[in-house]
Amino acid sequence: AQSVTQLGSHVSVSEGALVLLRCNYSSSVPPYLFWYVQYPNQGLQLLLKYTSAATLVKGINDFEAEFKKSETSFHLTKPSAHMSDAAEYFCAVAYSGGYQKVTFGTGTKLQVIP
Amino acid sequence: DAGVTQSPTHLIKTRGQQVTLRCSPKSGHDTVSWYQQALGQGPQFIFQYYEEEERQRGNFPDRFSGHQFPNYSSELNVNALLLGDSALYLCASSLELSMGEKLFFGSGTQLSVL
C-alpha cells in the first residue's frame, strides 16, 4: 500500500532562512508525488508535483523538491523563508493504477519567525 | 472560471442526525473525490466518483455515502452522525484521463457534531 511519512509535525525557521520539510514515501510501483499547502480555514493548494519527468521539480513561490528513488524521499525546500510561507504543508502520493486516489501525510506546520 | 465550490461552509449537527454536503467541481472536471480532515491530521480519502458511480472507496463505514449528478456535481451523505465525524470535509475535482494531474480543492465544509 502506498503511504507517505512526514518527519516533524512542526518546523520553525527564521525569516530568510532555508526551509526544509521532509517526506518519505512507500510505494510498490513508481509513484506520483505532490506537495500541497493549506492556509488556515482554506482548502489545499498544489505547490508542485513529480510525475516521473525531471527529478528536481520546481513549484510555485520558489519551492522545489527533489525525487530520490534510492532514499524514497521527496523533501520540499525553499532557499529563503517569507512570513507568508507560514502554513501547513502536506506531502501526498498516488500511483498510476490508483484512479487518482491521493494519499496524504499527516502534515508539517511551518512557523516563520521574524 | 469558478473553482471548486462547497456548501455549506459550516454546519452543526447532533449525534444521530444525518447530513448532506454539496460540491460543484471546477469547470471541465469530471471526477470528484471527497476527503475528511480531522483536526491536526492530513486529509483521509473517503471515496471518488466518476461517471455517476463510486469508483474507489477508502476505509470509511457505509454510513458515508455519496452521489454524482450528470453535471458532475456531487453530494456526500453521512447518516447516524457520531462525535468522531466532526471534521473538515474537502471536495476535490480532477480530470479522469489526467493521471498525475493535480487535484483542485474546495475550501471545505466544517462539520461539528454535538
Q: What is the pLDDT of residues B45-81, one digit of tens each?
A: 999 999 899 988 999 999 999 999 999 999 999 999 9
- For the segment A17-37, the average pLDDT, to the nearest whole number, is 89
DSSP of A40-81: TTS-EEEEEEE-SS-SEEE-GGG-EEEEEGGGTEEEEEESS-
**If you compute the radius of gyration of chain B from its CA atoms, what whole number of angstroms results?**
13
Give the span between the Cα atoms of A89 and B20, in whole angstroms.
28
Cβ distance of A44 and B105 shorter than 8 Å: yes
Minimal CA separation from B7 to chain A, in Å? 13
Q: Is the pLDDT of residue A61 over 80?
A: yes
Residue A53's pLDDT is 72
- For the segment A90-109, the average pLDDT, to the nearest whole number, is 82
Give the span between the Cα atoms of A35 and A63, in whole angstroms.
10
Q: Mutating which of A60, A100, A102 best tests the B interface, going by the most B Cβ atoms within 10 A?
A: A100
3-state secondary structure of B100: coil
Cβ distance of B99 and A100 shorter than 8 Å: yes
3-state secondary structure of A23: strand
The grid coordinates of residue B74 equal 456531487
Cβ–Cβ < 8 Å for A41, A54:
no
Q: Is the pLDDT of residue A108 over 70?
A: yes
Residue A48's pLDDT is 92
Cβ distance of A34 and B102 shorter than 8 Å: yes
